[in-house]
Amino acid sequence: MLLKENIPFKYVFGKIKYEVLFITSYAVIIAVLYNNFHYTRISIPLAVPAILGTVISLLLGFRSNQAYDRWWEARHIWGGIVNDSRTLTRQLICFTETAYPGDAIQAFRERFIKRQMAWNHSLDRHLRKMNSREGLDKFISKRELEFVLHYDNVPLALIDLHARDLNKALEMGWVNTYQQVELDRTISRLNDAMGKCERIKNTVFPVTYSQYIHLSLMLFIGLLPFAVIQYFGILEVPVVVALASCFLLIEKMAIHLQDPFENKPTDTPMTAISRQIEKDLHQMLKDQEVPEELEQHGRRYYVL
């Protein structure tokens, strides 16, 4: 995703360079016919494209809002994933502190938390139609990796492993029933977030709506040179190119924002979010033992 405040000029107009070249050539031809060959009857009233441009502006504004809503919903969902990943780790560490200390519990915590890191990365790649199994070997064991190979939906397989481990923790007495319910609720919220992302991914923006707006926009741009030629003469070329570029950029912006999981510069920054979650969970896993605070003679001491 583009995170810079100053977006390169080359990147912005690189999206419409072919359209701009065509429109420039088209406007130049109209100007040459009008000024050199005196085809004065080709001009039309300015009100014709003005009315059409007003309607298109409203439609483009509505479409941009709808596209931004899809992008913002995706970002909102991933914000919830960040919170629930941290909550799951916190609950897991705190709930199992009352259990008898041992290597089994420590291994259980590490396995569960690292699997949550794997889930974030695999969901990122799953939504982008990439290999969602790539890179999981550094988070989960070989046995679990073989388990997820049987699933087309790798994040779903990891959620299934979460549920199996949680039942095992309840059977071993590492968590009680109430703690198991709370952990299961957090896992369910993660599962719901995955479903919401898949809904956005698999719901295609109405194609006919996009085509109708694009055809209307092309008609507006096609009529624009005939309407301004009698007022600007040869200067109608930069005027037409400038106006057309504004409308085309707004249309392109809406097209890019409407699909937030397509691995484009304008999509949701899922990779950066997953890496930040990984960093946070690693720190929480490493700093499980918090020093106890003791106070003697007005001074505070910390002991492990």
pLDDT in tens, 18-46: 899 999 999 999 888 887 776 657 778 88
* 195 part of a folded domain: yes
| Biggest CA-to-CA distance, the chain | 101
Give the C-alpha distances (Å, rounded to integers) separating 211 from 17, 218, 220, 223, 244.
20, 10, 14, 18, 17
Helical segments of the chain, H only: 9-14, 17-35, 47-95, 103-127, 142-148, 154-172, 177-202, 207-232, 236-257, 270-286
- The answer as to whether 294 is a domain residue is no
Who contacts 279 (Cβ-Cβ below 8 Å, separation ≥6)?
none
Residue 293: its pLDDT value, please?
A: 47
Per-residue pLDDT, 23? 92
Q: Which domain holds residue 57?
A: 9-286
- Cα–Cα distance measured from residue 227 to residue 103, given in angstroms and rounded to the nearest whole number: 80
Q: What is the DSSP letter of 38?
A: -
Q: Kindly state the DSSP code that residue 296 receives in the 8-state scheme.
A: E
Percentage of the chain lying above the pLDDT 70 cut: 87
Distance from C-alpha of 160 to C-alpha of 151, rounded to nearest angstrom: 11
Q: Is residue 304 in some structural domain?
A: no
Output the pLDDT for position 17: 86
**Contact assessment for residue 282 and residue 218, using Cβ atoms and an 8 Å cutoff:** no
Task: Look at residue 301 and tell me if it is in a domain.
Answer: no
297 falls within a domain: no
Q: Indicate the number of domains in the chain.
A: 1
In a domain, 213, yes or no: yes
